[in-house]
Structure 1
Amino acid sequence: MKKRALAAVAALCLGVVALIGPTSAAVAAAPEGAPYVAVGDSIAAGTGSLPYVDTSCLRSKRAYPDLLGASPGAPPVTMACAGAGTADVLQQIAMLDAGGALGADTQLVTVTSGANSTGWQNALAVCAGGDSLACQQAIAAIGDVALLKQETHALLTALRAAAPNAVVVITGYPRLFGTSGETCTIGAYGGSPAKVTPQQALIANSIVDAINLAIADGLQLYQFQYAQTHGGTLDAIVPVDVTGAFLGHGLCDAGDRWIAGLSSGKKADGAFHPTAAGQQAYAALIAAALGG
């Protein structure tokens, strides 16, 4: 997955450079950076919401960056890619900066990143198979979520260096299974119904909570250090917590599901990702956080 993410980033960067073209007086007077830039993982790419506009990154035109960009008429320059971990997103930022898409005139940057750095998606897939021992082993193999604090700090530092005047929005992740307290079916796995027990749902949701907390801690660390060097002033970074909006819309909830379940069909790559409705919720939450 990481190879796919990096290869797609490299290809898009070459396209950005090609659009910029050779140095000239006209180019020198052009804006420094696109108005809106999006980076991140499969959530920001809209993975699972067909059709894809980039099959290498499983990037959809129904992803929240495209929904946000449609309103002011400023489509995003996006490198969000399925499978991207924090290191990959740092590479996205570096290549967008080098290609001229990020700069002093960039007004908005959105980022969703962190979950892939823990390996928790593998644990979800294993646990859905129904083998309790394999599930426990996969959960035990999840990486140290606390490391996301430093990784988030590094992401924000890189974004601010590349786009010094932009408003930066950093989002969290939704809980997947809700709080029904009962075993629920979340789709099909290997030709059989895939079920999640209340204990498995609780563990998965607690991991998401830990990821969101680490991201928030990383933002707090960044703001603390920024304030120290800027006379107490905080940076224009907007956190967006999506957990409240997704309550009642998880895989084990009775309401409309905003999370895709397991499937052997064309949307199999979108399992445990926001549906089109979930992507709309992300866009609405970000728009509200930005004052509409």
Structure 2
Amino acid sequence: MPHRPLARALTALVALLVATVGALAVPGAAQAAAPVHYVALGDSYSSGVGAGPYDLSTCLRSQKSYAPLWAAANNVASFRFPACGGAVTADVLDNQLGSLNATTTMVTITIGGNDAGFADVMTSCRFGSTSTCTNAVNQAKAFATGTLPARLDRTYAAIRERAPNARLIVLGYPRLFETGYCGLLAMSSHKRTMLNEAADVLATVTADRAAAAGATFADTRPTFAGHGVCGAEPWIRDVTGVIEAYHPNANGYRYGYLSALNAVTG
């Protein structure tokens, strides 16, 4: 039986290789199966204003927002949803961080638009003259580049402190408009272009400060492209939505925001 020692040696070698590969695979498998404890912070673009229906709080939280949609699709171990319509950075710091702790593994946030006064900017541009709109946009851009960065830095640092083991994902705001012809009663193309340019400034500032904080920035401008107000299939509500004006509709949260979040979470 001259071949038996060789056969036994080959069998042992195969068994060793299988065991080694299995041992290497276990950490990855364990990591993939690690429970996700998710907290969604932020303003109306996180709470789901525009999607409806809303909970009984004053925050206008909707289960059609991207955050609960992501939580449901990923079978998270826990999900907390303190995001609130109208929130500014100070509201996140004062009222939302209590949902975070050392067991939190993922945090998402949209914040900064209300600090920069974009609701007032939208009103000025929708109902005011071109010069009124231009002044409002310029003031908001100056705030976004001059004052907002420090507020974002403070907010992201506080999140890191309360949730040191969490991945922080900062989602940006979309451009709200398509700039083609939109009827006689719509905002002019010039105003819509200025507002989109302001959205770009806000996105640039937010992405920069997110990177400085070691967070992931999820840019929603590409996913919303072609679906702004005045588009053939808008995912943004027009002024007729009253409190929902210039917020995503249900499709905007599902196909715009959720798609952007999925792109960075895998």
* TM over 0.5, shorter chain: yes
Tell me, yes or no, if the aligned pair for 1:48 and 1:268 is still in contact at 8 Å.
no
Tell me, yes or no, if the aligned pair for 1:109 and 1:167 is still in contact at 8 Å.
yes
| Partner Cα distance (1:116, 1:36) in 2 | 24
User: 1:130: how far off?
Assistant: 4.8
**Cα distance change on mapping 1:47 and 1:194 into 2, 3 Å:** farther
Larger of the two Rg values belongs to structure: 2
| Partner Cα distance (1:104, 1:212) in 2 | 29
In the superposition, the TM-score normalised over structure 1's length comes to 0.72
SS in 1 for 2:217: strand
Unmatched segments (≥5 aa) in structure 2: 1-35
Residues 148-159 of structure 1: pairs in structure 2 closer than 5 A: 148-159=148-159
Tell me, yes or no, if the aligned pair for 1:93 and 1:159 is still in contact at 8 Å.
no
| Partner Cα distance (1:117, 1:259) in 2 | 21
| Partner Cα distance (2:212, 2:107) in 1 | 19
Tell me, yes or no, if the aligned pair for 1:103 and 1:163 is still in contact at 8 Å.
yes
Unmatched segments (≥5 aa) in structure 1: 1-33, 186-192, 224-236
C-alpha offsets along residues 79-119 of structure 1, whole Å, 9 cap, x if unaligned?
Answer: 1111111111122343x1xxxx3112111111000110111
| Partner Cα distance (1:140, 1:179) in 2 | 19
In the superposition, the TM-score normalised over structure 2's length comes to 0.79
Which of the pair is proportionally richer in strand? Answer: 1
C-alpha offsets along residues 177-231 of structure 1, whole Å, 9 cap, x if unaligned?
Answer: 1242x3x25xxxxxxx7411111011100111111111112123334xxxxxxxx
**Cα distance change on mapping 1:55 and 1:134 into 2, 3 Å:** farther
One-letter amino acid matched to 1:164: P
Tell me, yes or no, if the aligned pair for 1:39 and 1:92 is still in contact at 8 Å.
no
**Equivalent residue for 1:241?**
219
C-alpha offsets along residues 9-52 of structure 1, whole Å, 9 cap, x if unaligned?
Answer: xxxxxxxxxxxxxxxxxxxxxxxxx8111110000010121210
| Partner Cα distance (2:213, 2:128) in 1 | 41
C-alpha offsets along residues 101-148 of structure 1, whole Å, 9 cap, x if unaligned?
Answer: 311211111100011011122121222125345434433543611122
**Equivalent residue for 1:210?**
201
RMSD of aligned Cα (Å): 1.9
User: How many pairs were matched up?
Assistant: 227
SS in 2 for 1:76: strand
| Partner Cα distance (1:148, 1:141) in 2 | 12
C-alpha offsets along residues 246-278 of structure 1, whole Å, 9 cap, x if unaligned?
Answer: 111011223x11101111xxx421110011001
